[in-house]
């Protein structure tokens, strides 16, 4: 599993309607193929989005800083900086750096696919020759079969039945500058122009633009950072953006359906708070809470929007997600209207978010030497110790290590020097620090996911309401 480079890329030619006085794109007229490419943004896991935008920025050799999406860049960099020894297996790290999404194979058919993740399937080379071999398949050749050999025999996979990914054929669309997508018709175009305040076309010019891989990535970046992504991407107005908001955002800790927990699981975390303003300086926890945070990288953008209350005040995410749901659900196609579950590979983890399937993955029947084998999935955290754990155990990280999590979700192993660095950074006296022990249920987990997208102070934002309670008393 990993990324691939694009040597050749298909190109779209889009017709833009531009307000020449304001140097602003009013709307774009596009076809089904381009809309499918745009809506594929919503399928991308957050970790993939961070990686693609970072790579795009490096390729552009821009003098400005890369766009920072809330706390996700820090989460991703934390995984990059962690040693493989911190994880149960090398695959546990790979599945965070190169997350798998549920529609990855259908998206390969897109006219332009910006996701460079390549997912492959492997089995033990001794399958069919050895009775001690695991009857399993894996997405990771770094995992070992129960017999001790690496799962390095690639399984060739055929494409499935061709279905619509998002929108049906023979449709034309208009995209407004705020990323609202609508069916194209004379009536809807006129209505859209009137809503924008245009009574005639004298101020509007048509412009044709060629769009390839670079321009589509620029649109993805502007989707998070701009209120006018088409103008910013195609009229070269975009600039780097650090997407942050203050930690006292209204109603951020109150998440839709947050109290209806599907799991009784509770995680405890110790947080160290500045007394004067209740700002969380850092948290300290073991493996379980850090596993939860790292799984944020695997959650697709549309699922972040959906499970966190459908009210994301960030760029044009809200308009874009609502357009996808509206257009997909209005057609009699097999298009998905809600990407609510992560692929089977993640079903061993993140019960608090409610985004993982509770069912066991289906068996995969494979014929070797004229004999059929029903293969089970080997989960990324399988260490080869017992055949039963092919079905998966909990966790990504090894137990026994304590981690420090800063307010912006930078994660590192706890040590005295890192603690001192944080205290010096905030210029805090030791007497000004309170220690709290907080229980994390589904409500807080979803609040953290939401705050991670919209702020640079995820811990304070999502957990602030819990800090009104009395701090933990020190033992005499």
Q: Which residue has the higher pLDDT, 2 or 128?
A: 128
Closest of 13, 41, 17 to residue 28, by C-alpha? 17
Q: Which residue has the higher pLDDT, 321 or 351?
A: 321
Q: Rounded distance, CA 191 to CA 82, Å? A: 53
Average pLDDT of the chain is: 82
User: Taking 50 as the threshold, does the pLDDT of residue 333 lie above it?
Assistant: no
User: Taking 90 as the threshold, does the pLDDT of residue 411 lie above it?
Assistant: yes
Closest of 284, 257, 250, 274 to residue 467, by C-alpha? 274
Asked whether 447 and 464 are in contact (CB, 8 A), the reply is no
Indicate the pairing of strand 279-285 with strand 364-368.
unpaired
User: Taking 90 as the threshold, does the pLDDT of residue 405 lie above it?
Assistant: yes
Average pLDDT over residues 5-19: 76
Asked whether 117 and 103 are in contact (CB, 8 A), the reply is no
User: Taking 80 as the threshold, does the pLDDT of residue 138 lie above it?
Assistant: yes
Q: Is the dihedral of CA 75, 76, 79, 81 positive or negative?
A: negative
Q: Rounded distance, CA 123 to CA 33, Å? A: 35
User: Taking 90 as the threshold, does the pLDDT of residue 452 lie above it?
Assistant: yes
- pLDDT interval class at 75 (50, 70, 90): very high
- pLDDT interval class at 324 (50, 70, 90): confident
Q: Rounded distance, CA 294 to CA 83, Å? A: 14
Residue 128, Ramachandran bin (φ over 0: left; ψ between -120 and 50: alpha; else beta): left
Percentage of residues of the chain with pLDDT beyond 90:
40
Which segment of 43-47, 198-202, 216-220, 224-228 scores lowest on mean pLDDT? 198-202
Q: Rounded distance, CA 330 to CA 324, Å? A: 10
Residues comprising the chain, all counted: 476
Average pLDDT over residues 316-332: 78
Quote the pTM value: 0.88
28: Cβ–Cβ under 8 A, 6 or more apart, which residues?
14, 15, 16, 17, 174, 175, 230
426's enclosing H/E stretch is helix 416-426
DSSP 176: E
- pLDDT interval class at 246 (50, 70, 90): very low
Bridge partners of 148, per DSSP, are: none
Q: Virtual CA dihedral for 461, 242, 419, 265, nearest 10 degrees?
A: 40
- pLDDT interval class at 251 (50, 70, 90): very low
Indicate the pairing of strand 136-137 with strand 371-377.
parallel
The reported pLDDT for the residue numbered 314 is: 80
Q: Which residue has the higher pLDDT, 152 or 247?
A: 152
User: Taking 60 as the threshold, does the pLDDT of residue 263 lie above it?
Assistant: no
Highest mean pLDDT among 93-107, 210-224, 232-246, 343-357: 210-224
């Amino acid at each position: 599993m990993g990324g691939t480079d694009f040597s050749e890329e298909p190109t779209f030619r889009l017709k833009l309607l531009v307000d020449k006085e304001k140097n602003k794109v009013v709307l774009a007229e596009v076809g089904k193929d381009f809309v499918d490419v745009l809506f594929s943004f919503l399928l991308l896991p957050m970790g993939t989005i961070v990686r693609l935008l970072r790579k795009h920025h490096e390729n552009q050799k821009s003098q400005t800083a890369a766009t920072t999406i809330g706390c996700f860049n820090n989460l991703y960099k934390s995984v990059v900086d962690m040693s493989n020894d911190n994880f149960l297996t090398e695959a546990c790290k790979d599945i965070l750096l190169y997350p798998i999404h549920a529609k990855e194979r259908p998206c390969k058919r897109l006219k332009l696919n910006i996701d460079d993740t390549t997912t492959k399937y492997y089995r033990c080379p001794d399958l069919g020759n050895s009775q001690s071999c695991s009857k399993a398949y894996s997405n990771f050749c770094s995992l070992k079969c129960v017999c001790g050999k690496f799962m390095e025999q690639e399984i060739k996979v055929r494409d499935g039945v061709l279905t619509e990914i998002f929108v049906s054929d023979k449709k034309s669309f208009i995209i407004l500058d705020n990323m609202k997508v609508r069916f194209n018709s004379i009536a809807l175009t006129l209505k859209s122009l009137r809503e924008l305040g245009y009574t005639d076309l004298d101020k509007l010019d048509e412009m044709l633009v060629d769009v390839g891989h670079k321009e589509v990535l620029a649109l993805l970046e502007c989707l998070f950072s701009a209120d006018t992504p088409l103008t910013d991407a195609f009229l070269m107005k975009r600039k780097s953006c650090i997407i942050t908001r203050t930690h006292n955002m209204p109603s951020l800790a109150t998440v839709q359906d947050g109290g209806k927990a599907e799991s009784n699981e509770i995680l405890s975390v110790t947080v160290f708070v500045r007394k004067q303003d209740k700002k969380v300086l850092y948290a300290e926890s073991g493996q379980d809470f850090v596993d939860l945070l790292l799984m944020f990288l695997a959650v697709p953008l549309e699922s972040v929007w959906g499970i966190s209350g459908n009210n994301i005040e960030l760029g044009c995410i809200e308009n874009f997600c609502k357009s996808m749901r509206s257009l997909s659900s209005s057609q009699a196609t097999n298009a998905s209207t809600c990407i609510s579950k992560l692929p089977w590979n993640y079903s061993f983890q993140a019960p608090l978010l409610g985004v993982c399937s509770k069912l066991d993955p289906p068996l995969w029947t494979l014929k070797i030497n004229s004999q059929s084998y029903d293969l089970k999935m080997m989960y990324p955290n399988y260490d080869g110790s017992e055949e039963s754990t092919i079905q998966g155990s909990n966790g990504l990280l090894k137990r026994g290590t304590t981690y420090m999590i800063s307010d912006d979700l930078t994660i590192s192993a706890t040590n005295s020097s890192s603690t001192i660095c944080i205290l010096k950074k905030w210029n805090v006296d030791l007497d000004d620090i309170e220690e709290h022990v907080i229980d994390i249920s589904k409500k807080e987990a979803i609040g953290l996911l939401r705050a991670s997208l919209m702020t640079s102070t995820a811990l304070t934002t999502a957990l602030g309401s819990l800090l009104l309670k009395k701090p933990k008393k020190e033992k005499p």
